[in-house]
Amino acid sequence: MDSKTRRRLAVRAPDGVEIVGAACGAGPPLLLVYGAMMEQRGWDRLLPYLNGGRTIVTYDRRGRGESGDSETYAVEREVDDLLAFAGALPRPFDVFAHSSGALLALQAAVRGLGARRLVLYEPPLAAVREPRLGVDLPGRIVALVEAGDRDAALDLFMREGMSVPASELPRLRESPRWADQMRYVRTGAYDVTVTRSYVLRREEVARISSKTLFLLGETSPAWMRRGVETFAVAVPGSRLEVLPGQGHNAQFTAPDVLAAAVNRFLD
């Protein structure tokens, strides 16, 4: 899949915010929805491994990239954004979503997203998360950003939002992604809110009619496994596949392995 010939796309969310994305390729659409600390260019390593014959569609969630934002955040608005973007696509279309993006896709599916197939890579279930997310974490992230200390905000998000060991932070700071992530670290508060506020209501997810595949990294923590297994039982007829040797971010560490799982399910 050639990512160099992107076509710009844009839709208006119900609250008037412009949500901007891009498309490449030709054929039935596959819409990609990322999780925390990303923007749509973050999919670039994955795109070459996705099978041809599809239009690959990406978009920037509000507050990231070219997309606009609102003064106050609400998870429902992000679900509205996804529904609006998907609503502009020709049918049939599929969705691949990661982490907090997978939680948004689940909520959109309950509200009538209408995807043919869903691939959901490690949606985090807060009820089984260890350690638990603090109720004040989003506010603390925003406060540091507003005080001008984005580095400290990203450090806080990584430690408490992503449970990254303190010993790993110096290595992460040296990577080019750290500077990129500081640009949109405020949206880390959004992702914490998406995860912390999500409550699995089995009677709701039982209404999801899209064929669904849940992906789990073999090396991901036990609480993540419990959460993904819980989702896989709750969504009717869904499947669960384990990505060998991978954790939560195979789109960076092994895009070929991740794409192979996506391709098998969608083809």
217-261 tens-digit pLDDT: 999 999 999 999 999 999 999 999 999 999 999 999 999 999 999
Q: Give the whole-angstrom CA distance, residue 138 versus residue 120.
A: 24
Tokens coding 207: 């209404």
Q: Where are the domains of the chain?
A: 7-125+198-266, 137-191
pLDDT digits (tens, 9 = 90+) for 114-170: 999 999 999 999 888 877 777 799 999 999 999 999 999 999 999 998 888 889 899
Kindly report the average pLDDT of the chain as a whole number: 94
DSSP state of 175: S
Is residue 105 packed enough to be buried (19+ CB in 10 Å), middle (13-18) or exposed (0-12)? buried
Q: Give the whole-angstrom CA distance, residue 194 versus residue 188.
A: 10
Q: Which residue has the tokens 């844009």?
A: 10
Angle at 5 between CA 34 and CA 30, to 5 degrees: 40
Query: Which CA distances in Å does 14 have to 19, 67, 106, 151?
Result: 11, 14, 19, 33
Identify the pLDDT of residue 33: 99
Residue 3 confidence (pLDDT) above 60: no
Query: Which CA distances in Å does 107 have to 2, 162, 248?
Result: 30, 22, 21
Q: Give the whole-angstrom CA distance, residue 169 versus residue 10.
A: 36
Q: Which of 158, 157, 121, 63 is nearest to 251 (CA)?
A: 121
Coil, strand or helix: which one is 61?
Answer: coil
Query: Which CA distances in Å does 22 have to 70, 85, 105, 191, 211?
Result: 21, 11, 18, 22, 25
Name the packing angle between helices 188-197 and 137-146 (round to 10°).
170
Q: Which CATH superfamily is domain 7-125+198-266 in?
A: Alpha/Beta hydrolase fold, catalytic domain (3.40.50.1820)
